[in-house]
A = this chain, B = another copy of it.
Amino acid sequence: MHLFIGQKQDDGLFGLTTEESHHCIRVTRHKPGDFVMVTDFKGEIWKTIILDQNGDQVICKPLEIYKREMSIGGKIHIAISLTQQSDRFEWFLEKAVETGIDTITPMVSQRTENRRDKPERWSKIIIAAAKQTLRARLPDLQPIQNLEHILKTNQIEQRFICHCENGTEGFLGKLYNPTQDILVLIGPEGDFTKPEIELCQSHKFIPVHLGELRLRTETAGLTACIILQTLKNCL
């Protein structure tokens, strides 16, 4: 069954957004009487029946809750360097949404080469992945930020920086407390510089690794996300 995005109206019915109404009628070719799923991304997905088309807007009557998103454990925030090839960053976005990330910050650090900002395209990828994977809440996409800005503005309980140099304090999964919020920094191709790592440590970011193997930026970001999610699921 397809998932569409809508807003709950005062009368208790869901009105799909204009874009979603179009998609529902023209692309997936639904008609009044069809069952579809609807979410407003506020934590619930409803099984609904299409009542009518009010002009260009599809109106759905909620029948029962299909899914209520539980928030077990802390929230996962990953700040990740943009990658040289844009498609690799976009791939990270899609997969991070599919595997349960809460907040994504596209980051620029010293060795980040590609700095192109594509907030609209990225939002579309995030929404498509959230629909595909039946998420009842939309992850938060922050604006692009410099590493320094991230360090100054985030006071999340657990703060980690992943890098490939010697001198980490161990495997991310071993140091993570899944009951608390977490922010993890993932560097660019060529990694963070030593001064950057020291700067992060002075802001109480703990240096960690993600295992024995050398990972590309986007694989590292996704691996971090799944490591954290695994330990939350084991709670």
Q: Which residues of A contact B (CB under 8 A)?
A: 69-70, 91, 95, 98-100, 132-135, 171, 173-174, 211-216, 219, 222-223, 226-227, 229-231, 233-234
Contact = CB atoms under 8 A, between A and B. Distances in A.
Contacts of A215: 98-99, 133
A99 B229 contact: no
Contacts of A91: 91
Contacts of A132: 214, 216
A53 B219 CA distance: 36
Contacts of A219: 95, 98-99
A133 B223 CA distance: 14
A214 B134 contact: yes
A46 to B, nearest CB: 16
A233 B171 CA distance: 7
Contact of A229 (B69, B95, B211): B211
Given A100-B211, A100-B213, A134-B213, 6 more contacts: A99-B219, A99-B223, A134-B214, A171-B234, A174-B234, A227-B230
The 9 closest A-B pairs by CB, nearest first: A226-B226, A133-B213, A230-B230, A227-B230, A171-B233, A134-B214, A173-B230, A98-B219, A173-B234
